[in-house]
Chain A
Amino acid sequence: DAGVTQSPTHLIKTRGQQVTLRCSPKSGHDTVSWYQQALGQGPQFIFQYYEEEERQRGNFPDRFSGHQFPNYSSELNVNALLLGDSALYLCASSPEWANEQFFGPGTRLTVL
């Protein structure tokens, strides 16, 4: 049984560009959350998707948007990239809210 997978593993972009990160949840999981982890900090909640709707959002600007597909996979889109968007982006899935979250390996985004 494959766990949570994310693509790509690494990505380099320049300021002002747009990026799309992808996540496939663990089999049987219908909820996907996205987190941003900057150097030296814990993961920060971006948003959570359930039944193809954004269920809750953290303190991130509208440049961060997402989508969940009928097969529960998800995308994170970031527009107008800033240097400060450089971070590790983690995706986590769960079968229902309040249970443990299963994390993917992350996508390392570098903005130059």
Chain B
Amino acid sequence: ILNVEQSPQSLHVQEGDSTNFTCSFPSSNFYALHWYRWETAKSPEALFVMTLNGDEKKKGRISATLNTKEGYSYLYIKGSQPEDSATYLCAFWMDSSYKLIFGSGTRLLVRP
């Protein structure tokens, strides 16, 4: 059974704080690692698709790193804003497969 673990489960921070989440995934048969942001009452939206060991991607104040050899990825948010409040999901894509295996997500609440 392939497991994708995310921590923490939930996080409450003050506006302006920087924060980071962890995603752990199997280190074998890796093809890609996806990060999604899911705001309440909206559709999950892709943040990053990462495929290479050592990848670092950035979109505004959000960045992510990838270590495929040890099976983890970090998502960083610099200077959190209330609009960053959402559930952040990571998903593992195994080689020779067509399905995404999701973690349970990290629920972020940013207080003004």
Contact = CB atoms under 8 A, between A and B. Distances in A.
Contact of A98 (B44, B93, B101): B93
B21 to A, nearest CB: 13
Contacts of B42: 105
A74 to B, nearest CB: 14
Interface stretch (B12-20, B63-71, B73-81, B102-110): B102-110
Interface in A46-73: 48, 50, 55-56, 58
B104 A42 contact: yes
Contacts of B46: 100-102
Contact of B99 (A3, A48, A103, A105): A48
A10 to B, nearest CB: 12
A79 B101 CA distance: 25
Given A56-B97, A98-B31, A103 B102 contact: no
A43 B34 contact: no
A56 B44 contact: no
A99 B49 contact: yes
Chain B interface: which size bin? 20 to 34
Which of A44, A45, A90: most chain B Cβ within 10 A?
A45
A40 interface: yes
Contacts, number: 57
Label chain A's interface by main secondary structure.
loop
B104 A45 contact: no
B4 interface: yes
Nearest to B101: A45
Given A58-B99, A98-B31, A105-B42, 11 more contacts: A35-B100, A43-B44, A44-B102, A45-B101, A55-B98, A90-B44, A100-B34, A100-B46, A103-B45, A105-B41, A106-B43
Interface of A: 3-4, 33, 35, 40-45, 48, 50, 55-56, 58, 90, 97-106
Interface of B: 4, 6, 31-32, 34, 36, 41-46, 49, 89, 91, 93, 97-105
